[in-house]
């Protein structure tokens, strides 16, 4: 009787772990789509079966379709991406809000200042080097 209970617990845990893994991949893909900001919440539906992800729904243009499919391919744990995404020109394309534009400008300014600083350091280090020459002994 005790072994039957142990087997039941082991089976329940293994089924639970498998179901959690599948749900986790689906949630990870959904989070990636939401974080990408190229598609709106109701446009793309996600189905998972093992490591295979199927995308269903509509997108406003070909570029958005390519971005959505590629971002899902980059999710860890995804092996195959099947998509049945149709292009619907009546859907509005993504346009950044004023807050998102400000954030993008700030990120670009930080990147350019970091690049400028690293190139300035390189220039200073090149200028501080003395040319090698022959020394006269005597």
For residues 116 and 1, which has the higher predicted lDDT (pLDDT)? Answer: 116
For residues 16 and 81, which has the higher predicted lDDT (pLDDT)? Answer: 81
Q: Helices (H), strands (E): how many in the chain? A: 3, 3
The values of phi and psi at residue 87, to 5°, are -85, 125
- pLDDT higher than 80, residue 75: yes
Task: Classify 36 as helix, strand or coil.
Answer: helix
Residue 39, token pair as written in the block = 């598609």
The span from the CA of 23 to the CA of 29, in Å, is 10
Measuring CA to CA, which residue among 14, 27, 64 is closest to residue 43? 64
For residues 81 and 33, which has the higher predicted lDDT (pLDDT)? Answer: 81
Mean pLDDT for the chain overall: 76
Band of residue 3 on the pLDDT scale cut at 50, 70, 90: low
**2-87 CATH fold:** 3.30.1340
pTM: 0.54
Q: Which stretch of DSSP H or E encloses residue 75?
A: none
């Amino acid at each position: 009787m005790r072994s039957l209970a142990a087997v039941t617990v082991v089976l329940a845990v293994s089924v639970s772990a498998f179901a959690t893994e599948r749900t986790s991949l689906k949630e990870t893909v959904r989070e990636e789509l939401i974080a990408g900001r190229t598609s709106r919440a109701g446009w793309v539906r996600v189905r998972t079966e093992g490591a295979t992800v199927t995308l269903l729904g509509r997108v406003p243009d070909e570029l958005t379709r390519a971005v959505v499919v590629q971002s899902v391919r980059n999710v860890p744990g995804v092996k195959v991406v099947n998509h049945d995404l149709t292009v619907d020109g009546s859907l509005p394309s993504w346009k950044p809000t004023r807050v998102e534009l400000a954030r993008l400008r700030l990120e670009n300014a930080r990147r350019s200042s970091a690049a400028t600083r690293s190139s300035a350091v390189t220039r200073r280090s090149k200028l501080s080097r003395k040319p090698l020459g022959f020394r006269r002994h005597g």
